[in-house]
């Protein structure tokens, strides 16, 4: 897991960010009635991407980064 620059600060209050590690986030796929109609076939475009999560030590704001560039572009 990559770390942000040493001076990584909260975008809201400027306090230091603490790493929470990587969190798997589901991207793509479909939801709702499409899953009922198409079942597992509706999930063929679903992927799980690990995002680096950080929490502000003061205001508890969460920030996510894609340090390893695992998310698709565009």
Strand 47-56 and strand 17-27: the pairing is antiparallel
Q: What is the pTM of this model?
A: 0.63
- Give Cα 32 to chain centroid, integer Å: 22
pLDDT at 4 exceeding the cut of 50: no
Token reading at 9 = 């600060």
Please, which pLDDT band fits residue 26 given cuts at 50, 70 and 90?
A: confident
* Residue 17, beta-bridge partner list: 56
- Give Cα 19 to chain centroid, integer Å: 13
- Could you report the per-residue pLDDT of 55-67, keeping only the tens digit for each? 999 999 999 988 8
Please, which pLDDT band fits residue 35 given cuts at 50, 70 and 90?
A: low
């Amino acid at each position: 897991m990559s770390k942000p620059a040493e001076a990584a600060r909260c975008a809201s209050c400027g306090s230091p960010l603490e790493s929470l590690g990587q969190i798997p986030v589901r991207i793509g796929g479909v939801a709702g009635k499409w899953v009922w109609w198409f079942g597992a076939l509706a999930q063929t475009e679903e992927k799980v991407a690990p995002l680096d999560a950080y929490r502000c030590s003061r205001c508890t704001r969460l920030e996510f980064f894609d340090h390893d560039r695992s998310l698709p572009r565009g």
